[in-house]
């Protein structure tokens, strides 16, 4: 009897069994579909948010590489510049990251 359970089933499942499986949340799901959704929405997000992100990153680079000699030797100011750059980078990437995370969690 144990061998019969391990063998591949030859009969199609009944409509009642399929309905019961759907009610229990046991539906077939393709991982490739979820991955494709994330990649496609990520690419669309780059097209949509790309100019905004590029502008912000250029601003971060200009801000980060243009400071006085005193600022370079002042640990407090250097830390302030670094924290400011990290914050600006997070703001620049936030819309795109939110879209990709939404696609990852909301996908099938």
* pLDDT tens digits, 98-108: 999 999 988 76
Q: Is the pLDDT of residue 36 over 80?
A: yes
Q: What is the rounded (10 degree) CA torsion for 2, 3, 4, 8?
A: 130
DSSP alpha helix (H) spans, 7-74: 15-23, 31-64, 69-73
pLDDT tens digits for range 55-70? 999 999 988 888 778 8
Sign of the C-alpha dihedral computed for residues 33, 38, 43 and 44 taken in this order = positive
Domain spans, the chain: 30-106
CA–CA gap between residue 95 and residue 53 (Å, rounded): 9
29 or 44: which carries more pLDDT confidence?
Answer: 44
> Cα(56)–Cα(86) distance, rounded to whole angstroms?
12
Q: Of residues 86 and 81, which shows the higher confidence score?
A: 86
């Amino acid at each position: 009897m144990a061998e019969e359970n391990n063998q591949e089933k030859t009969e199609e499942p009944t409509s009642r069994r399929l309905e019961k499986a759907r009610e229990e949340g046991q539906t077939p799901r393709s991982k490739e579909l979820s991955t494709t959704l994330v990649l496609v929405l990520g690419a669309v997000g780059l097209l949509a948010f790309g100019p905004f992100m590029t502008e912000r990153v250029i601003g971060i680079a200009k801000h980060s590489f243009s400071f006085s000699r005193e600022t370079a030797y002042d640990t407090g100011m250097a830390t302030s510049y670094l924290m400011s750059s990290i914050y600006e980078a997070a703001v620049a990437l936030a819309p795109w990251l939110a879209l990709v995370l939404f696609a990852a969690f909301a996908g099938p």
